A = this chain, B = another copy of it.
Amino acid sequence: MVQADRRELPTAAELAVWREYIETASDLRARLEARLQSESGVSSADYEVMLTLSEAEGRRLRSSELAARMDWQRSRVSHHLGRMEQRGLIRREPCADDSRGAEVVLTSEGSMAFRRASVPHLRAVRELFLDAFEPEQLDDIASTAAALRRHLGSAARR
């Protein structure tokens, strides 16, 4: 394959790769979301929040720290926590050393929901994603994804 001039627009072949990549990624995400929702009754946003909290030391985080670890906007976190609080999955507690802040904690109900969700979710990751590939292909995925991340990281952000 000839290296295309970087100034030119993508060739048809390049565009086909692009579309295949972006469409399968989006399809995969939708399929996982659907399984998580139907098997465990939580969205992947809920899952991410619960995962991040349960990985934190003390199993609690300031809401801005939560936002930083998940790479979400602060206001998104705020809205989402509001909804999760309604459903009894998390609780907001006033923060001892900074009375502006809040600490977010999983309720026991939230912990249970997370434990109930996690094994089926991991199984779905295996079935829908990992099982699609031979070991060498998985290595290819890892290295191309890393290359892409590096590239995006160096391209001007925001």
Contact = CB atoms under 8 A, between A and B. Distances in A.
A144 B147 contact: no
A59 interface: no
Given A24-B152, A151-B132, A152-B31, A10 B122 contact: yes
Interface in A74-132: 119, 122-123, 125-132
Interface string A20-47: 1111111111010010000000000000
Given A140-B144, A141-B21, A145-B20, A155 B128 contact: yes
Nearest to A149: B24
The size bracket of the interface on A is 35 or more
A56 interface: no
A152 B29 CA distance: 11
A62 B73 CA distance: 38
Contacts of A141: 17, 20-21, 144
Q: Which of A15, A123, A131, A151 has the most CB atoms of chain B within a 10 A radius of its CB?
A: A151
B138 A14 contact: yes
Contact of A17 (B20, B145, B151): B145
Given A6-B131, A18-B125, A20-B141, 9 more contacts: A10-B122, A15-B122, A20-B142, A20-B145, A20-B149, A24-B148, A25-B145, A28-B152, A137-B147
